[in-house]
């Protein structure tokens, strides 16, 4: 099989007591989109005229979700937006793979169209390393 269906992926938020509660009405997920910095270490005595690099710090990236906005389900997340401290979240795929991460909610964009459903795009900056638990 060439790929897997993402339908059924779940995003959960730590309630502060170690219990992860699902965040409902999530449409599309993106991330974490991690990146590693690189440092140019090319010197006059390098072996060729090609630049040389070494790896630097890793940025845990961002996680972004699109939700079918429901104030009763999502206003708790707006509280996270006002909080400067990271909160624990996890995403679980239909296959059972879990990505656990701490993150600061740094983007909150709502849409209130005249002729359609309310929506929001919510973005988190991952703080530290995401922990990946493979599917059983």
Residue 17 lies in a domain: yes
The mean pLDDT values, 10 residues at a time, for the chain of 136 residues are 83 91 91 93 92 96 94 85 94 94 94 93 96 92
- Cβ distance 26 to 67 under 8 Å? yes
Q: Does residue 80 fall inside a structural domain?
A: yes
The reply to whether 83 falls in a domain is yes
Cα separation, 102 vs 32, in Å, equals: 11
Please give the pLDDT value at position 99: 94
The torsion angle over the Cα atoms of residues 61, 66, 71 and 72, rounded to 10 degrees, is: -80
CATH of residue 122's domain is 4.10.410.40
CA atoms within 13 A on the CB side of 45: 0
How many domains does the chain divide into?
Answer: 1
> Is 9 in contact with 54 (CB distance < 8 Å)?
no
**Is 96 in contact with 61 (CB distance < 8 Å)?**
no
Q: Residues 39, 32, 24, CA angle at the centre, nearest 5°?
A: 165
pLDDT at position 36 = 95
Residue 1 domain flag: no
Residue 3 lies in a domain: no
Residue 2 lies in a domain: no
Its domain, for residue 116, covers 10-133
- Answer whether residue 5 is part of any domain: no
H, E, C per residue of 35-90: EEEEEECCCCCCCCCCCCEEEEEEECCEEEEEECCCHHHHHHHHHHHHCCCCEEEE
Please, are residues 122 and 67 in contact by the beta-carbon 8 Å criterion?
yes
**Residue 85 lies inside a defined structural domain of this protein:** yes
């Amino acid at each position: 099989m060439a790929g897997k269906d993402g339908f059924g992926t779940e995003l959960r938020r730590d309630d502060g007591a170690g219990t992860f509660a699902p965040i409902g009405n999530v449409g599309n997920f993106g991330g974490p989109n991690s990146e590693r910095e690189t440092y140019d270490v090319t010197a006059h005595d390098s072996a060729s005229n090609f630049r040389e690099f070494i790896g630097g710090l890793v940025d845990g990236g961002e996680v972004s979700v699109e939700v079918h906005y429901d104030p009763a389900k999502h206003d708790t997340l707006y509280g996270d937006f006002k909080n400067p401290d990271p909160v624990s979240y996890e995403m679980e795929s239909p296959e059972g793979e879990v990505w656990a991460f701490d993150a600061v909610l740094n983007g909150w964009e709502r849409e209130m169209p005249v002729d359609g459903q309310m929506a929001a795009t919510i973005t988190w900056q991952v703080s530290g390393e995401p922990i990946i638990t493979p599917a059983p």
